[in-house]
């Protein structure tokens, strides 16, 4: 994106799917987003907010440029909020089929995805959350997306996230909600950003 760049922001992620989702929103706001993989400092915490903020601060100490970190989790009601902040680890270890096994015979399939976005663009420090309620499907469906997308059906849809295009997913997504709020605040304050 050239010519209409209001602000350049480094997105600390090595997840191309996540980057593509956020890029669509960044383009809408005139924010030039650059993917910066392999620098994600993560702590183990029960709080997505703590994880996102810690990662943003540690990365900022190294990069010293306007950056953004996003952390998300899937919270399943019948499993007392599991896997929550540990979603990435749970996905890598037991995966989608492991979650479906835990949900065998469970009638209450309510769940929600939460996203926490942290942006540091000195002197601005922004933390925003996004949440989407939905249900856990009985089997994986769809081939788009990543993580637990194939088993999450957002409220107001009959499709899983993995059955949606990026544009469709962004209409419902927890990540899109958090990013939209964060970008709106950032642009209101952009004139004070040190570049």
Residue in 140, 142, 193, 184 with CA at minimum distance from that of residue 163: 142
Q: What is the model's pLDDT at position 9?
A: 96
Confidence (pTM): 0.93
Instruction: Taking residues 124-136, report their average pLDDT.
Output: 98
State which fold the 7-192 domain adopts: Maf protein (3.90.950)
Domain ranges across the chain: 7-192
Q: What is the model's pLDDT at position 2?
A: 46
Angle between helices 16-29 and 174-189 (to 10 degrees): 40
3-state SS assignment for residue 102: helix
Residues that are catalytic: 71
Q: What is the model's pLDDT at position 105?
A: 96
pLDDT tens digit sequence for 64-123: 999 999 999 999 999 999 999 999 999 999 999 999 999 999 999 999 999 999 999 999
- Judge whether residue 1 has pLDDT over 60: no
- Judge whether residue 145 has pLDDT over 90: no
Residues 6 or more apart whose CB falls under 8 angstroms from that of 57 comprise: 120
| Average model confidence (pLDDT) across the chain | 93
**Based on C-alpha coordinates, what's the Rg of the chain?**
17
């Amino acid at each position: 994106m050239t010519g209409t760049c209001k602000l350049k922001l480094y997105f600390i992620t090595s997840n191309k799917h996540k980057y593509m989702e956020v890029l669509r929103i960044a383009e809408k706001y005139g924010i030039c987003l650059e993917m910066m993989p392999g620098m994600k400092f993560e702590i183990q915490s029960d709080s997505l907010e703590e994880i996102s903020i810690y990662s943003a601060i540690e990365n900022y100490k190294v990069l010293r440029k306007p950056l953004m970190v996003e952390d998300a989790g899937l919270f399943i009601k019948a499993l007392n909020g599991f896997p929550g902040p540990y979603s990435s680890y749970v996905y890598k270890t037991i995966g989608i089929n492991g979650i479906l096994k835990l949900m065998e015979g469970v009638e209450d399939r309510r769940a929600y995805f939460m996203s926490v976005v942290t942006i540091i663009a000195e002197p601005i420090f922004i933390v925003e959350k996004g949440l989407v309620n939905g249900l856990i499907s009985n089997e994986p469906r769809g081939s788009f997306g990543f993580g637990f997308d194939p088993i999450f059906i957002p409220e107001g849809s009959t499709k899983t996230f993995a059955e949606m295009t990026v544009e469709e997913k962004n209409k419902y997504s927890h990540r899109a909600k958090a990013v939209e709020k964060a970008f709106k605040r950032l642009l209101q304050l952009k004139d004070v950003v040190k570049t």
